[in-house]
Amino acid sequence: MPDSVLTAAEAVFLRALNELGVRFILVGMSGALLQGARGATEDIDIWFETTNDPRIDQAARRAGGFWVSGAFGMRPPALGGTALGDRFDVVILMHGTRSFTEEHADAIVVEVDGIPLRVLPLRRILASKKAAGRPKDLAQIPAIEEAIAASEADRKP
């Protein structure tokens, strides 16, 4: 098993986002996996409070990558580059969730490779997957429900 979940550039990027005060939440199946759901995903789903925050670009540059905010009608936002890669999937619309501010306030903190990251709780990820209704989202529901049941069982005396 690898010592690190993140590449060096991904860790630099996420650490820089925290240091610069950028508000973001890890969501989707990547967020569920961090909370014990079984499964796999190829990307890291990240939801920013606003994609127009210039500090996102600063964090991407620190990691040797680039950021295109998607402003001026250019959609979706793009995050990548040779060092940073293309594993981050910038989420601009979350189905079945409340506002970013409300979800951020209720997000849990999970430490990944020594970096504290705000993550959408499993029940909120489940609501989002159900609301999205895409076959790939619906296929992940059993794994998320299993992780919720396991975490609730762990909390019982």
Closest CA to 119 of 51, 46, 52, 55: 46
Which are the contacts of 77, defined by CB distance < 8 A and separation ≥ 6?
Answer: 51, 67, 68, 69, 70, 90, 92
Give me the pLDDT at residue 72, please: 62
Give me the pLDDT at residue 128, please: 96
Give me the pLDDT at residue 149, please: 93
The structure's pTM equals 0.91
pLDDT, the chain, mean: 91
Give me the pLDDT at residue 1, please: 33
Q: Which residues of the chain fall short of a pLDDT of 70?
A: 1-3, 71-75, 156-157
Give me the pLDDT at residue 41, please: 86
Give the fold, CATH level 3, of 8-155.
Answer: Beta Polymerase; domain 2 (3.30.460)
> 39 vs 26, 32, 50, 86, 147, CA distance in Å?
16, 9, 29, 20, 11
Query: For every residue of 67-98, which 3-state class applies, written as one string?
Result: EECCCCCCCCCEEECCCCCCCEEEECCCCCCC
How is residue 36 annotated by DSSP? T
Domain boundaries, the chain: 8-155
Give me the pLDDT at residue 3, please: 62
